[in-house]
Amino acid sequence: MEFSKSFVRFNWLALVLIYLVVIAGSFVRITGSGMGCPDWPKCFGQWVPPTTDENLPENYKDIFSEKRAEKVEKFTRFLNLIGLEETAEKLKNDPTLHFEQDFNGRKTWIEYINRLFGFLAGNAMLISFIWMISKYRRRKGLLLLAGFNLVLMAIQAWFGSIVVASNLVPWTITVHLFLALLIIAIQIYFIKRISSVYNSIQKHPKWMLILIWVSFIVIFYQMFLGTQVRESIDQLTKLGFGRDSWTDKLGMQFYIHRSFSWIVMVLLILIAWKNEVISRFSFIRFAVIVLALELISGVLLAHADMPGLVQTSHLVFATIIFGILTMGIFRGRAESENNA
């Protein structure tokens, strides 16, 4: 059973929307707008948030502080249930969870736009799932895959509320990002399975598939280290340390993160050279270009005083490389099976 071009294109659109959520989330992070909306899914109890605090009750901080306490209590019970008692205890005793920020219209709308992108991406995946049920329900494996990713998107939305309720506790932000990467990977695999174009692509040489796998693993670890470095910088900023002292205080994670960037560069240059000599796959060329931009943004983050927009670019380029390598792995696997 072949899937229609409109269905394939719609799922590409869903993937773009998921990426836009990641971009918007990064922008929320760099502008400090994560607490722009103290509740979820509404924003200050409204579906369309206010632009000034005149539309809010005088005691709005007390109202949302109480709601936050209830949500944190539920989350700590969940953490205790899965054996994370120490983490639950830290959340219970965290004094910052009882502090509500002053209303800031700009930050409120930045966070609200982020949620709108999430709403659009979630509904695109829901429409895709309903489309599968109505026209392609005989493909039970793909139907289950689409349903599973839709559930993950709902979990991601729920966890987003936990990130807000826990006042942006660092580890929750990391989990939030990697849930997004998992959703992206599944969506890419789903697109690969429904796109007939991959049946005519030449099989990857074994060396390329191995190098792509190694690059993928290093990139994944790099993104994990990057979130840890970012969280450490956030903590240093809160403690009053300036950019000049960050490098000395970030520790081994920063140096590993920086060193691994060169490892990724060497790997992808090797893949690109072999690709030009033997295979000439366009996605490899694109990956190398994005990697160059990623390394440039990393250097600017480390040495130039322009962290805002560059930080967003750094995450976006890393996520794009992740997606390209994920597609390369899936394509290689599919081509091996088709030529077996």
Segment 52-91, tens digit of pLDDT: 878 787 777 777 777 777 777 777 887 788 777 777 777 7
pLDDT in tens, the chain (340 residues): 688 889 999 999 999 999 999 888 877 777 767 777 777 777 888 888 888 878 787 777 777 777 777 777 777 887 788 777 777 777 777 766 666 677 788 888 888 898 899 899 999 999 999 999 999 988 999 999 999 999 999 988 888 777 766 665 667 777 888 898 999 999 999 998 888 765 445 466 677 777 778 878 888 887 777 777 766 666 666 666 665 656 666 666 666 766 777 777 787 777 777 766 665 666 667 777 777 776 666 666 655 555 555 666 777 778 888 888 888 777 765 444 444 3
111 contacts 189 by C-beta, under 8 angstroms:
no
Report the alpha-carbon distance of residue 3 to residue 240 in Å, rounded: 56
Classify 9 in phi/psi space as left (phi over 0), alpha (psi -120 to 50) or beta.
alpha
Report the alpha-carbon distance of residue 83 to residue 77 in Å, rounded: 10
The DSSP code sequence of 78-142 is HHHHTT-HHHHHHHHT-GGGG--PPP-HHHHHHHHHHHHHHHHHHHHHHHHHHHHHHH-TT-HHH
pTM of the model: 0.78
250 contacts 225 by C-beta, under 8 angstroms:
no
Give residue for tokens 């670890």: 221
Confidence at residue 55, expressed as pLDDT on a 0 to 100 scale: 76
DSSP state for residue 41 in the 8-state scheme: S
Closest CA to 42 of 149, 128, 151, 115: 115
Report the alpha-carbon distance of residue 163 to residue 181 in Å, rounded: 17
Report the alpha-carbon distance of residue 331 to residue 32 in Å, rounded: 38
The DSSP code sequence of 263-312 is HHHHHHHHHHHHIIIII--HHHHHHHHHHHHHHHHHHHHHHSS-HHHHHH
Confidence at residue 131, expressed as pLDDT on a 0 to 100 scale: 95
With both helix axes pointing from N to C terminus, report the angle between 252-274 and 206-238 in degrees, rounded to the nearest 10: 150
The DSSP code sequence of 192-234 is HHH-GGGGGSPPPPHHHHHHHHHHHHHHHHHHHHHHHHHHHHH
Which uninterrupted H or E stretch holds 19? helix 5-30
